[in-house]
Each structure stands twice: as structure tokens, then as C-alpha cells.
Amino acid sequence: MKKYFFTALLLFGILFKGKGQGCSDAGFCSAGSIKASNNDSIKNSLGFSVGYAIGEQGTTIITPQFEPQIKISDKSMVQIKIPFQFINGDLGSNKGLGDAIVTYNLNVTNLGKKPLTFTLGTRIATSTSSEKRDNIPMPMTYQVSLGTTDLIVGARIQFKKGFSVSLGYQQPLFNRNQNGFDSAAYKNLKLAKQLPDDENYFISSYLERKGDIMMRLDKLFKIKKSTFSIGILPIYHLGKDKARINKGTIVNLENSQGLTLNINAGLNYKISNKLEISAIAAAPLIVRKSRPDGLTRAIIFVPALRYNL
């Protein structure tokens, strides 16, 4: 079974490629219970993952992430995600502490005899997204933070034969975004790099993001010590984002509202009662035309290790 696991792991890294946004959800599609369930047991545990993604204009994003889980009761736990980002592309590189995600998750077992889990949490901004290179403000894809502190609410219900449905809502509450990639920076970069318009970056100066809603449908397969999941993940951006251009004019960013549709897969192998390894991959099928938040992804691949205490 181990050889099948690592073969599938390799295939995930090769086959899940596309052009678009990948998860494009600012973190909430895998927060708490809002994910395909490989293991519903409530335990204290320590997790570590390393995300690999190709972003806007070929930017590479590598994200080591510490993921502890703290048991509160037999039916509840707190999950924490603390990422550190390494970003590299044609405009330079950046690294730093990414936005932390903290969620409280509560299992309910008596709703129509179908397991139901609720999630309430937040994404916490760690910077103002204002990094510069060569005196030019860098676009959002090079920033380690979205610059907003968000509310996250979600739930997952499990059905027979391994099917599950998750719903989620994420809403920015406090905006610290001071990104400076405005129309002037766009024009300067275009001239400096001799970029055609379709290879330039999205204007994102003092970005004001709208909220998102999502629904994911997953099917889970169990094979001895392994589980495999596959599903679809539609995410709808609820409105047009706003940015400042020409040193202060606030504009609605056209085509930033709308649907992103992803296909995703996950694999989990239980080495022992204490230790398990996993991997997830995602690729986009439908994307929004304008994505000023910097969440464009052509590929997402995340192997992980978890130790149950």
C-alpha cells in the first residue's frame, strides 16, 4: 500500500496543472472542518506541511506551515495554522510570516443521524502588504499577507458512502492593506520590463477585498490504512474589489466579482496510531478574469505530516 501512496503522491505533483486561481479562497477552503475529512477524531496533534504553488506570471510560492490542533472536549478542538512564505519571481523575492488562521470546530452527531461539524474562526493579517523592490511597490502576488483580518464561518455534513458537503463564508473585517501597486506603478513596471498588458500584474493599491462564499462536494474512499478524496470546490467572490489609482481615486475593479471552480484531491496514509502523512492538490476549471488579491494559482500541491499526541 505504501508504494501506491507514494506513486499517487508523485502523480499529484505532475498532473494537477492548470492556469487560473487554484484554491483562490484566502485560506478558508481547508480551514477547520471546511475540508474533505480524512480523520474526524478529536486529538491533540502537531502538523507540518509544505505548500508549493505557481502563481501570477510564473511566481513560485513555497509555504512551510505549522499546524497544531488542541483538543477542547470530546467534540471540539481548536486548529491553528501558522504559515511562513517564500515568494520568488521576475520582480524579485520576498519572505515572511503569512496570515495565521485560527478556528474553533464543534462536532454534532444527532442531526438526522448524520455527522455535522461547525467551524468559527479568523484569518489574522500579519503585515500591510506594502513591500517594495527597486522603489516600485510590488503587486499582491509578492506579498506575504493579504492585509486583512477576516471572519470565517463554515460547516460540513457527512453522508453515507463517503460523500460530504461543506459550506463556508469568509468576510474581511479589518483592512490594513497599504499595497502601492497603482496605475503609476503598473505603467512604470510595463516600461521597465517591456511587458505587454497581458503579462503585467493586477492593480491592487490599498486593496479593499470583498467576501467569498464556497461549497465543496467530496467523495472519500477508504483502502485499508489509506483514504483518498476527490471533489469540486466552487468559490464565489461576492462583489467587485476596490483599489486606489492616480494617487487617491477609488475605483471598482471590473471582473473581480464572480466564480472560481476548482477540482481537488487528497490522499492520507496512516503509518501508525500516532503518525500519518497526507497530500492535497488542486487545479482550476473556471476563474475570475480579474484577481487583484494575488491568489492566482496555476498549481497547488501540499504534502503534510501529522503526529497525534
pLDDT tens track for 72-126? 999 999 999 999 999 999 999 999 999 999 999 998 876 667 788 999 999 999 9
What amino acid is encoded at 61 in this protein?
I
- Residue 246, CA distances (Å) to 128, 135, 207 in order: 20, 17, 14
**CB atoms closer than 10 angstroms to residue 203:** 22
**CA angle in degrees (0–180, nearest 5) for 244-194-130:** 35
State the average pLDDT for the chain: 87
CA distance linking residue 81 with residue 103, whole number of Å: 9
How many structural domains comprise the chain? 1
**CB atoms closer than 10 angstroms to residue 112:** 8
Q: What percent of the residues of the chain are helix, what percent strand, and what percent coil, each to the nearest 5?
A: 15, 55, 35
Query: Among 226, 247, 251, 234, which residue's Cα sits nearest to residue 288?
Result: 234
For the segment 30-44, the average pLDDT, to the nearest whole number, is 73
Domain housing 296: 2-308
Report pLDDT for 112.
Answer: 67
Q: 154 near 165, Cβ under 8 Å?
A: no
The CATH number of the domain holding residue 212 is 2.40.160.40
Q: pLDDT by residue (tens digit) across 151-170? A: 999 999 988 888 999 999 99
Q: How many CA atoms lie within 13 A of 226 on its CB side?
A: 15
Residue 193 has pLDDT above 70, yes or no: yes
